[in-house]
């Protein structure tokens, strides 16, 4: 699901495994923006991070392979 912008603290669900991920960092490299995601569970402090390229078009942004969960009440 697209949103207006990706922000720190948002929760996104991985479409392939159903695991929830928290956006912990956003950064840009030249013309591309990346989001760093960490699993949103009790082992998050020990879990690795995942880097995902942010896809932007017009006035929306999305993370390919992930669904924004905070609009639905099932997270």
Please state the pTM of the whole predicted model.
Answer: 0.83
Give the pLDDT score at 45.
Answer: 74
Give the pLDDT score at 75.
Answer: 43
Give the pLDDT score at 61.
Answer: 92
**Left, alpha or beta for 2 (phi > 0: left; psi -120 to 50: alpha)?**
beta
Smallest Cα–Cα separation from 20: which of 47, 59, 58?
47
Each residue's pLDDT, cut to its tens digit, for the chain (75 residues) gives 678 889 999 999 999 999 999 999 999 998 899 999 999 887 777 778 899 999 998 889 999 999 999 765 444
Give the pLDDT score at 1.
Answer: 61
Q: How far is CA 52 from the centre of its chain?
A: 7
Residue extents of the structural domains in the chain: 11-68
């Amino acid at each position: 699901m697209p949103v207006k912008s990706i922000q720190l603290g948002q929760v996104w669900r991985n479409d392939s495994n159903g695991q929830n991920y928290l956006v912990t960092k956003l950064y840009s490299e030249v013309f591309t923006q990346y989001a760093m995601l960490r699993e949103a569970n009790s082992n998050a402090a020990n879990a690795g991070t995942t880097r995902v390229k942010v896809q932007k078009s017009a006035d929306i942004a999305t993370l390919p392979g992930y669904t924004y969960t905070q609009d639905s009440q099932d997270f």
